[in-house]
Amino acid sequence: MKQIVFPDEDSLDCANRLRSVFDALPMAIALLDETGIVTALNDAWEVAARRDCFIGHDCALGADYRQACAASPVSEAKLVADAVTALLDGEGNGATVSYDRPRNGDGQYGHFRCAVVPAPQGETRGALVIHTDVTVETEARLSLQEREAHFRSILDTVPDAMIVIDETGVVHSFSVAAERLFGYDAAEILGKNVDLLMPDTPDAGHAAHLCRYLNTGRSRVVGTTRAVVGRRKNGELFSMELSVGEVRRDGHTLFTGFAHDLTQRQQTEARLRELQDEVLQVSRLSAMGQMGAALAHELNQPLTAVVNYLEGGRDLLDNDPPRLDQVRRALDLGAEQALRAGEIIRRLRNFLGRGESDTHLESVARIVEEACALALTGARSHGVTVTTTIDHSQPDVLADRIQIQQVLLNLIRNAIEAMEVCEKRNLTIATRGREGEVEFSVTDSGPGIAKDVAAKLFQPFFTTKRQGMGIGLVTCRTIVEGHGGRLWVEAGADGGTSFRFTLPIPSTGGDDDT
C-alpha cells in the first residue's frame, strides 16, 4: 500500500477510509505537492500504467510529475506538464487536456483534468491530476454513429418512400425518397400527423386505423400491402402501394410505412391495354380477310333468294287476276332471307367493332353459337362435318363476349385449315362443366401437331402457316388469361389436335371485409 498523506487529517481510521475510497475510484488519480512531486497514486493509475494506455505513466511516488510528462514524446504530455506548472505557479484553478491517439490501429481517447489542491489559508498545497480513459465509450459512440450513418445512407437510397410514425400518427422519420414522392422537406413533416399525406376522405384517416389496431388488435393496414391514395404537397392525389410494419420498444409502438408510387405502373398498364386492344383489332381484321370469300358466299345466298322472291312476286302481280296470296307468301319469304342477311352483317359488325374490354355475365351457349355462325361460314362447302356439344346446364360466365368469340373463331379457323390435307374432316366444338369453371374445346381430325412444334405454339411470332403472323394463338392465350382462365393444347382422341381453354364461374358468395 502506498503512503498517502492527507493534510489536516489526524485520524488514522479516517485516513484509511479515505485511502480505500481513493483506490476504489475508477479514474487514475495522482496527487502532487506544491513542487510537482507525486505524493500519492491510486490503484487505477497503476492499472492504466501497466496497460500503457495513458501518457506520463513513468511517474511514481517521489517523482517529479512535470518532468515525467515533459520527457514524454507524446505532445499531449507536454500540455499536461504546462498545465500542472501553471497551476502550481498560481495561474488558474484547473485545466483539461484531451487526446486522440492511434493505438495498434485503433483510436485511444481520454483526457486529463488538472486541479489545484488548496491549503486552508488559500495557498496552493499541490495539484490533483485525474486521467480518464474514454476509449471504450468513444469507440462505442463512434461505432453507433457509423452504423446510424450507414443505415441512413441505405434508407436514403431505398427507392420506396419510408415514413416512421408513432401510435398517435406523428411522423418521426421521413426519408429522401419520401421527400421526392410527396414534395415535402423532412423538416416540414417531422412532428406532424401522417394524415397530412392522405386525402381528406372519411376512409383516409391512417392514424385512426392504427388507433383501432392498438385497441382491438384488428388491422386493415399493419402487416398488409394495399393500394391507397396519397396527397402531395401541391394537393395532387396519386395512387400508391403501402406496406406497414410495427416495432414495440419500451412500451411504445412505432410503425414503419413503405410507399411505392403506382402512377407509372398504372400508366404503363393503361398503355399495354391500349396496345392489346390494337393487337386484337389487327387480329380481327386479319381473320376477316381470310373469311371474306366465305362471307360473300354466305351473304349471296339470302340476297339471291330475296331477288328471286321479289321477281316472282312481280310476275304473280302481272297475272289476271293477281295471285295476291302467293305474292304475300313470296314477300314473307323474301323478308326472312333479308333478315338472315342482316343477322350475318350484324354479327360481323359486332365482331369487328372496336371498344374497351366489356365484361358481363354471358351465356355459354350464346358465345359458342354466335362464334360458330361466323367461324363456320363455308365450312360445309369444304367437306367439314361439324359437331357441337354444349352443356346448357352450366351457369353464365363473366366475360367479354366478343373477345371470347374471337378466341373460338381463331381456334375453329385454325382447325379447318389443318384438315384441308385430310380426307376425314371432323370438327367437334364442345363445352363442359368443371369445378368452378367451364371448359371450351375445339377438336379436329387433322394430322396433329409434333411435340417440338407444340412446345412453341404460344411463342410470339412463331407460326407454321406460310402467310401467318404468329400472333393469333398468343393473342388467344392473352385474352383467356386476362379472364382468369388458361389455354392449352393436347392430342385429340382420333389423332388430331384439341385446343382447350377455361373460363371461371363467378362466385355467388361474398367475403366479409374485416
Tell me the C-alpha to C-alpha distance, in Å, between residue 258 and each of 151, 200, 217.
16, 21, 21
Top-level CATH class of 158-261? alpha beta
Q: What is the residue-wise DSSP string for 38-89?
A: EEEE-HHHHHHHHTT-STTTT--TTSBHHHHHHTSSSHHHHHHHHHHHHHHT
Contact 164, 173 (CB under 8 A): yes
Q: Which residue has better confidence, 121 or 116? A: 116
**Nine-digit cell string for 495:** 389423332
pLDDT on residue 502: 93
Residue span(s) of the chain under CATH 3.30.565.10 come to 357-514
Task: Report pLDDT digits (tens) over 411-463.
Answer: 888 888 888 888 888 889 999 988 889 999 999 988 888 777 776 777 766 56
- Quickly state the pLDDT bin for 511 (edges 50, 70, 90): very low
pLDDT on residue 20: 82
Residue span(s) of the chain under CATH 1.10.287 come to 266-356
118: left (phi over 0), alpha (psi -120 to 50) or beta: beta
pLDDT surpasses 60 at 514? no
pLDDT on residue 355: 47
Q: Which residue has better confidence, 274 or 212? A: 274
pLDDT on residue 381: 65
Task: Report pLDDT digits (tens) over 45-102.
Answer: 877 766 655 555 567 788 888 888 887 777 778 888 888 888 888 887 888 888 787 6
pLDDT surpasses 60 at 9? no
Top-level CATH class of 12-140? alpha beta
Average pLDDT over residues 163-180: 87
Q: Which residue has better confidence, 356 or 261? A: 261
Contact 32, 129 (CB under 8 A): yes
Most confidently predicted of 163-167, 401-405, 484-488: 484-488
pLDDT surpasses 70 at 476? yes
The chain-wide mean pLDDT, for the chain, equals 77
pLDDT on residue 149: 81
- Quickly state the pLDDT bin for 291 (edges 50, 70, 90): low
pLDDT on residue 348: 58
Residues 242 and 457: their CA atoms lie apart, in Å, by 39
- Quickly state the pLDDT bin for 500 (edges 50, 70, 90): very high
Task: Report pLDDT digits (tens) over 136-159.
Answer: 888 888 888 888 888 777 777 778
pLDDT surpasses 70 at 174? yes
Alpha helices in 353-456 (DSSP H): 364-375, 401-418, 451-454
Residue span(s) of the chain under CATH 3.30.450.20 come to 12-140, 158-261
When mean pLDDT is compared across 210-224, 360-374, 470-484, the lowest value belongs to 210-224
pLDDT surpasses 50 at 1? no
State how far Cα 272 lies from the chain centre: 19
With pLDDT > 70 as the criterion, what percentage of the chain qualifies?
A: 75
The fold of the 266-356 domain, in CATH, is Helix Hairpins (1.10.287)
Query: Minimal CA–CA distance to 171: which of 198, 191, 201?
Result: 191
pLDDT on residue 429: 92
Lookup result for grid cell 488514522: 12
Average pLDDT over residues 282-287: 64
pLDDT on residue 503: 92
**Nine-digit cell string for 405:** 368469340
Task: Report pLDDT digits (tens) over 322-381.
Answer: 778 888 888 888 888 788 777 766 655 655 554 445 678 889 998 888 888 777 766 666
| CATH ID of 357-514, from 3.90.180.10, 2.40.160.10, 3.40.190.290, 3.30.565.10 | 3.30.565.10
Residue type, 327: V
Task: Report pLDDT digits (tens) over 292-308.
Answer: 554 665 566 678 778 88
Average pLDDT over residues 286-290: 59
pLDDT on residue 2: 45
Residues 109 and 70: their CA atoms lie apart, in Å, by 20
DSSP code, position 36: S
pLDDT on residue 220: 56
pLDDT on residue 441: 93
